[in-house]
């Protein structure tokens, strides 16, 4: 989702020497394969969007995979960008890097000031390692490697897997399927009380280009909207957009995750960037994309 959004942004801005590989073409977990790729292509600018991702269920059941594969991906790519002299690298992290009970909204300097949320700790630890790796290559070798922390993302080419997707695409799929089968209700994990912030992936791509062109510091940058809503309100918003007339039932026996994750985006606002896609408009576009391209899994 993120990689394709960045690719669209680059093409729209007139860049035509783009080097891309799908995961089938290049296994970024394979150290030698990544070394060979960089030796052959020698990319000047690197957007590191690849990661193994998923929601609470995926994080809980695939914890070793999430830690190992993400560490392998980012270690291989960041090191080879240094070895082959890439001019700049942008590393994409996640808002889950911050402490579970961090003050709200979450400032960049809150990193490593408290315990992580247990339901996504392996992923968060891997991403924190990536941030610190970029900082280390900057400090030791002078590499222009920057790190950005996007909030929860959604948009075109999202993952709608019934068990491995994040909350927003998961709700789109489940509520859509309930509509098709005339189910009287849809069960939503958790109490519905946790609050989340959501950013359209194409807005993230725009922010990434802005930072590639205007930011050269190893200190990380939050990317988000600065606005959040409860999972309950999100579910009802999706219900309205999908046109589902059944009931939503919240199951408090399921985990809620972090109570709130609202990003402080004053740093990127002060640099001159703001998001442009309202949440309702973005969900409508994501749902239209789901209807156009959905694959039953």
Residues with a catalytic annotation lie at: 123
Cβ atoms of 123 and 59 closer than 8 Å: yes
**Residue 27 annotated in ligand binding:** no
Q: Which of 217, 189, 203 is nearest to 263 (CA)?
A: 203
CA 256 to chain CA centroid, Å, is: 19
For residue 153, say whether it is annotated as part of any ligand binding site. yes
How far apart CA 197 and CA 203 sit, in angstroms, is 13
166 is in an annotated binding site: yes
Q: Is 256 annotated as a binding residue?
A: yes
Residue 43 assigned ligand-binding role: no
91, 97, 102, 105: CA torsion to nearest 10: 30
Q: Is 94 annotated as a binding residue?
A: yes
- Among 116, 136, 134, residue whose Cα is nearest residue 125: 116
Known binding residue 119? Answer is no
Closest alpha carbon to 66 in 74, 77, 58: 58
* 127 labeled part of a ligand binding site: yes
Q: Is 189 annotated as a binding residue?
A: yes
Cα–Cα distance, 190 to 30 (Å, whole number) = 37
| Cβ count within 10 A of residue 243 | 10
Nearest to 224 by CA among 244, 206, 249: 206
185 is in an annotated binding site: no
In the numeric block, which tokens belong to residue 76? Answer: 């291989």
List the one residue out of 66, 167, 76 whose CA is nearest residue 118: 66
Annotated binding site for substrate: 174, 189, 196, 256
Annotated binding site: 92-95, 127, 150-153, 166, 174, 189, 196, 256
Annotated binding site for NADP(+): 92-95, 127, 150-153, 166
């Amino acid at each position: 989702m993120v990689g394709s959004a960045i690719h669209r942004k680059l093409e729209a801005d007139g860049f035509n020497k783009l080097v891309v590989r799908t995961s089938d073409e290049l296994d970024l977990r394979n150290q030698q394969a990544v070394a060979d790729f960089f030796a052959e292509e020698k990319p000047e600018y690197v957007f590191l969007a690849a990661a193994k991702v998923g929601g609470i269920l995926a994080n809980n059941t695939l914890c070793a995979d999430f830690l190992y594969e993400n560490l392998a991906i980012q270690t291989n790519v960041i090191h080879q960008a240094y070895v082959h002299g890439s001019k700049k690298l942008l590393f994409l992290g996640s808002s889950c890097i911050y402490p579970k009970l961090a003050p709200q909204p979450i400032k960049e300097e809150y990193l490593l000031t408290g315990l992580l949320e247990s339901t996504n700790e392996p992923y968060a630890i891997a991403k924190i390692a990536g941030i610190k790796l970029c900082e280390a290559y900057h400090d030791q070798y002078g590499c222009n490697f920057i790190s950005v922390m996007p909030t929860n993302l959604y948009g075109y080419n999202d993952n709608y897997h019934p068990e491995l997707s994040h909350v927003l695409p998961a709700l789109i799929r489940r509520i859509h399927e309930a509509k098709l089968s005339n189910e009287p209700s849809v069960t939503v994990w958790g109490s519905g009380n946790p609050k989340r912030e959501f950013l359209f992936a194409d807005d993230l791509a725009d922010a990434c280009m802005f930072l590639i062109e205007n930011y050269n510091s190893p200190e990380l940058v939050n990317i988000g909207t600065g606005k959040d809503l409860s999972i309950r309100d999100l579910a009802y918003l999706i219900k309205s957009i999908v046109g589902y007339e059944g009931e939503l039932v919240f199951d408090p026996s399921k985990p809620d995750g972090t109570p709130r994750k609202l990003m402080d985006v004053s740093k990127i606002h002060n640099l001159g960037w703001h998001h442009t896609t309202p949440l309702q408009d973005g969900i409508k576009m994501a749902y239209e994309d789901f209807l156009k391209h959905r694959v039953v899994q």
